[in-house]
Amino acid sequence: MNNERILIAGAGPVGLVAAAHLAHGGVPVTVFEQGSGLSEESRASTFHPPTLDMLDALGAAEPLLAQGLKAPAFQYRSKKHGLLAEFDFSAIADATQHPYRVQCEQSKLTRILYDRMRGHPNFDLQFDSAVAGVEQTASGVAVTVERNGHTERHAGRYLIGADGASSTVRRSLGIEFEGFTWPDRLLVVSTPFDFHSVIPGLTAVNYVADPERWYFLLQIPGLWRVMFLVNEDASDERIQTREFAQSLMAGVVPGISNYDIDHITLYKVHQRVAKTFKLGRAFLAGDAAHINNPLGGMGMNGGIHDAVNLASRLVSVWRGDAPESELDRFDKQRRLVTLEYIQKSTIT
């Protein structure tokens, strides 16, 4: 069995950051992606300072900033009283090379990483390749991959399951995904309307409190995304109608209604953490390992931190600079951070 590479399931932001880090560290990787190309879903739009520091090491922070918006501050507001507080990232300029958030769709990051890695001798990405099962031995892992109606078997020394919230890798390994799903759903409405023109002093990232219905106002290039929690007893179909979206949008700025709407997307909101992030030679990272409500922008950011933490340890073990036991620390560290910080701060 030729296992002289690391296998990765999923070419989302987490799988591709892990792949880029490993390939640059001298480790050959093969990424299997079930889609016929990179996902076009925009979902995450906020990159936090430490994540930008990590992406910089892969040459991806600058192109991301070039395609996104720099947000040097964010605001807490109330609909009734306006600005309540502003956090200025220059306050942490001594702790990061990037004292700002970047507002940019996650689908731009995956394209930047793929463009940079394509042609690298250690990097191989195979589309239309769904990982369907996992087997392990003492010295390696093997995955079954379904491609164009055929089933193939591929071997590697380790496997990273970065195949998202419904992870086949996690299910194949029999790892429980403990937690719960909120009864509220998250409605994201995007509009080209320029909120700067009607709310003076607004930043690109704004959390707006209101006793009736709070919301977020987030700017990405060319669009604003307004996120509402919806607890009405209404069907998903009804909530995704333009009429319903317009009724919520009409509450954002007094006197303004009938917005130009580009997209209306409804999401279920979950809080779940895998029972372990490591089983034998297989690892879980990103949404495959943990999901949380997206309000603080911690899902993809936390997943990228998983990817860098794990890939750095794998590079050291691959080169013989650290013992295998080094890899156990990935589970200990990242699962603890997920439970103690990300889950706690996104549930309360």
Ligand X SMILES: Cc1cc2nc3c(=O)[nH]c(=O)nc-3n(C[C@H](O)[C@H](O)[C@H](O)COP(=O)(O)OP(=O)(O)OC[C@H]3O[C@@H](n4cnc5c(N)ncnc54)[C@H](O)[C@@H]3O)c2cc1C
Radius of gyration of the chain from Cα atoms? Answer: 21
From the CB of 193, what's the least distance to ligand X, in Å?
Answer: 19
Number of shown-chain residues binding ligand X (CB under 6 A): 35
Which of 30, 168, 309, 338 forms a contact with ligand X (CB under 6 A)?
Answer: 168
Which of 5, 15, 102, 335 forms a contact with ligand X (CB under 6 A)?
Answer: 15
- 262 vs 297: CA distance, rounded Å: 22
**Among 291, 272, 286, 314, residue whose Cα is nearest residue 141:** 314
- Residue range at the interface with ligand X (CB under 6 A); choices 52-60, 84-92, 116-124, 290-298: 290-298
Is 298 a residue that touches ligand X (CB under 6 A)? Answer: yes
Q: Whose Cβ is closer to ligand X: residue 312's or residue 322's? A: 312
Phi, psi of 50 (to 5 degrees): -65, -30
Which of 5, 6, 7, 12 forms a contact with ligand X (CB under 6 A)?
Answer: 12
Is 68 a residue that touches ligand X (CB under 6 A)? Answer: no
From the CB of 45, what's the least distance to ligand X, in Å?
Answer: 5
From the CB of 158, what's the least distance to ligand X, in Å?
Answer: 16
Listed in sequence order, the DSSP H helices in the chain are 13-24, 49-56, 61-67, 106-117, 168-173, 236-239, 242-249, 299-318, 328-337, 344-347
Is 287 a residue that touches ligand X (CB under 6 A)? Answer: yes
From the CB of 285, what's the least distance to ligand X, in Å?
Answer: 7
Footprint (CB under 6 A) of ligand X, residues 27-56:
32-35, 39, 43-46
- 30 vs 67: CA distance, rounded Å: 27
Is 226 a residue that touches ligand X (CB under 6 A)? Answer: no
DSSP 256-278: --S----EEEEEEEEEEEES-SE
From the CB of 286, what's the least distance to ligand X, in Å?
Answer: 2
- Residue range at the interface with ligand X (CB under 6 A); choices 133-141, 156-164, 251-259, 334-342: 156-164
At 162 the three-state DSSP class reads: coil
Strands (E), 127-256: 130-136, 141-147, 150-156, 158-161, 177-191, 205-209, 215-220, 223-230
- Residue range at the interface with ligand X (CB under 6 A); choices 26-34, 60-68, 255-263, 274-282: 26-34
At 201 the three-state DSSP class reads: coil
Footprint (CB under 6 A) of ligand X, residues 114-143:
130-131
Is 301 a residue that touches ligand X (CB under 6 A)? Answer: yes
From the CB of 75, what's the least distance to ligand X, in Å?
Answer: 16
Q: Whose Cβ is closer to ligand X: residue 199's or residue 304's? A: 304
Do 205 and 71 meet the contact criterion of CB atoms below 8 Å apart?
yes
- 120 vs 282: CA distance, rounded Å: 24
Which of 5, 60, 64, 106 forms a contact with ligand X (CB under 6 A)?
Answer: 106
Work out whether strand 282-284 and strand 278-279 pair parallel, antiparallel, or are unpaired: antiparallel
From the CB of 313, what's the least distance to ligand X, in Å?
Answer: 18
Give Dmax (Cα) for the chain: 68
Is 63 a residue that touches ligand X (CB under 6 A)? Answer: no
**Among 16, 60, 59, residue whose Cα is nearest residue 37:** 16
At 311 the three-state DSSP class reads: helix
Which of 277, 294, 308, 335 forms a contact with ligand X (CB under 6 A)?
Answer: 294
Q: Whose Cβ is closer to ligand X: residue 14's or residue 55's? A: 14
Question: Where does this chain bind ligand X (CB under 6 A)?
Answer: 9-15, 32-35, 39, 43-46, 106, 130-131, 162-164, 168, 186, 188, 267, 286-287, 294, 297-301, 303
